[in-house]
Amino acid sequence: MNLNSYAMWFFKKKVHLFAGLIFLMVGCNEIIEYSPYKAGVRSPDEDLNIKAINRISEYSEDEFRPFKLGLVGDSHTYYDYYEKQIRQMNKHDDIDFVVHLGDITLSGIYREFIWFRDITAKLKHPMITIIGNHDYLSNGEYMYQEMFGPLNFSMVYNDCLLVFFDNVIWEKNVEDPDFEWLESVLKDGEDYRYRFVFSHIPPWSDQFNIGNEYYFNMLMDKYNVDLSIHGHTHNYRYKQPYETGPPYLVVSSSQKGEIFFLHVDEDGFYPGREDY
């Protein structure tokens, strides 16, 4: 082999090797991870709550019509249990959509958000997700906002007001939730058939001081909220803990092997609970 032939052979070898490495890097995009704490999601994974609400709005009615919600919460890294919840929800064709009550991660890291996304993609119903206190850890607040959208938001479905409220305090490093935003939304929603508020932490939790607990329930009472729905404690609870105000529903964690429902009709509403 002369010098020119050897140079050409060597050049082709390098080109093939380089092309192979490029192919490998592109094909392994989900495998190669430079840091579990990175933030940022791809375009198809952005604003998932907004996309879900747009999908739900397509079959919402201006006048009241009965509906049924699925409820889950605190899936953390209980991925096997969460997958079972998704499979169980898929057995119910009469669900309008599902609400996740927060703590979709344990540590708020990128990979946990991606795992949650991949499992949730198997759900045949739209899902709306609120932020939990664990989702604030690491870069979780920014990951949540990129993947799902705003921290506080609301929607109208079948003449019912549904309010999704970020009430995390400690991990957010604030003294109070944004009660001003919550009151403004509730004040504008007094004419709807029912009003439901979804937030991760029940007001009697240790994250709330006495003043916050009182003020939260005062807003529920003042604006005739029909039901306040939560997660966080990992245990089921349905009660009216205060002399005034609505009943409170707390759904258990994925690890408990149960799913929950909210049935809403002309006569009122009632929670459902199903073991599997």
Going by pLDDT thresholds of 50, 70 and 90, the confidence category of residue 213 is very high
When mean pLDDT is compared across 37-51, 188-202, 255-269, the lowest value belongs to: 37-51
Give the tens place of pLDDT for each residue, 253-267: 999 999 999 999 999
pLDDT tens-place string over residues 3-36: 555 445 444 555 455 555 444 444 444 444 545 5
Long-range contacts of 31-36 (CB under 8 A, 24+ apart): 33/110, 33/111, 35/110, 36/109, 36/110, 36/111
Please state which of the ranges 35-39, 48-52, 133-137 shows the lowest mean pLDDT. Answer: 35-39
The C-alpha atoms of residue 142 and residue 263 are separated, in whole angstroms, by 33
What DSSP string runs through 218-235?
Answer: HHHHHTT-SEEEE-SSSS
Contact criterion met (CB below 8 Å) for 41 and 147: yes
* Strand order across the beta sheet in which 160-165 lies: 153-157, 160-165, 194-199, 227-230, 248-250, 237-239
Task: Over range 59-67, report the average pLDDT.
Answer: 98
- pLDDT tens for 232-241 read 999 999 999 9
The pair of three-digit structure tokens given for residue 206, joined into one six-digit string: 């240790």
**Dihedral sign computed on CA atoms, order 230, 78, 171, 42:** negative
User: Which position has the higher pLDDT, 40 or 271?
Assistant: 271
Average pLDDT over every residue of 171-196: 98
Maximum separation of any 2 CA atoms in the chain, in Å:
96
- 26, with CB counted inside 10 A (0-12, 13-18, 19+), is exposed
